[in-house]
Amino acid sequence: MYRDKKVVVVMPAYNAAKTLRRTYAEVREQQVADTIILVDDGSQDETVRVAAQLEGVQVHVHEQNKGYGANQKTCYRLALEAGADIVIMIHPDYQYTPKLIPAMAAIIASGLHPCVLGSRILGGYALEGGMPLWKYLSNRALTLAENLLLGAKLSEYHTGYRAFSREILLRLDLADNSDDFVFDNQMLAQILWHGFTIAEISCPTNYFPEASSINLRRSVSYGLGCLRTALLFRLARAGLLRPRLFRPVGTTAPTRSREVGVGQPR
């Protein structure tokens, strides 16, 4: 518990056997998480076996790979079913340090902001941590375009280190979002659409062979998906379109997903 709030840490995992123990140990060191949930998305290594050996970790397995977005949908559904007040997502590949978990939980528990992002850009950690230059430049260009279209001022939209209040996860209907990487971006756009504020904290990051990363082809596809999402947001805000991603402000998620906010895995 943190200030009487139940904190659930979720880990969307894929082939994370080599880094999972280190990530788990550091999460435990923070003494904030009441529950740790790992969702394995059809890993081809020993991620599930390693996770099963870690004390207190609830392991859920997708027998087939469904995609990063589908993995997160399961993570959030299980976290809400576990009674989470605060949900913190961290990748088990140790690219992001779990040492920021207490700070992220504090921001939400204090009522300052219902969403917190661990930004690799704030503080200049991205290149220092080994982010390839082409990824850094594309991150900056894409973020600039998104800020213009979404009317926000975030330092980046592409971090995999995020914390959410229960209220946000119950308000958003994520079931229709992509099952692929662009899910991350769609979710942030929906949060802004509903008028929630987003905080950012500076986050060191580490790029090394075992850390997960998408290739150039998938990065291009992701970037185009982000721009499409931002453009849909702008058109919906102008009243020119009514895409499923951006339901009228003030409405709740459809009945089929209202109990857990994120629907059922597809």
Element (H, E) at 188: helix 183-193
Amino acid at 223: G
Is pLDDT above 90 for 125? no
Q: Give the chain's domain count.
A: 1
Is 252 part of any domain?
no
- Whether 106 is in a domain gets the answer yes
Q: Which among 164, 165, 88, 161 is positioned nearest to 118, based on CA atoms?
A: 161
Q: How is 33-78 classified by DSSP, letter by letter?
A: -SEEEEEEES-SSSHHHHHHTSTTEEEEEESS---HHHHHHHHHHH
User: Which of 83, 82, 95, 81 lies closest to 13, judged by CA?
Assistant: 95
Residues 181 and 190: their CA atoms lie apart, in Å, by: 15
CA angle 109, 101, 74 (to 5 degrees): 85
The answer to whether position 266 is within a domain reads: no
Q: What percent of the chain has pLDDT over 90?
A: 79
**pTM recorded for the entire structure:** 0.91
CATH number, residue 164: 3.90.550.10
Q: pLDDT at position 9, please?
A: 98
Do residues 157 and 146 touch, judged by C-beta distance below 8 A? yes
User: Domain for residue 254, yes or no?
Assistant: no
In a domain, 260, yes or no: no
Look up the domain containing 39 and give its range.
Answer: 7-247
Answer whether residue 265 is part of any domain: no
Is 81 inside any structural domain? yes
- 27-36 per-position pLDDT tens digit: 999 999 999 9
pLDDT band at residue 207, thresholds of 50, 70 and 90?
A: confident
Instruction: Give the residue-averaged pLDDT of 217-223.
Output: 90
Can you give the pLDDT at residue 30? 97
Does residue 65 belong to any structural domain of this protein?
yes
Confidence label for 210 from pLDDT (cuts 50, 70 and 90): low
Question: Which helix or strand (DSSP H or E) is residue 89 part of?
Answer: strand 86-89
pLDDT tens, residue by residue, 152-200 = 999 999 999 999 999 999 999 899 899 999 999 999 999 999 999 999 9
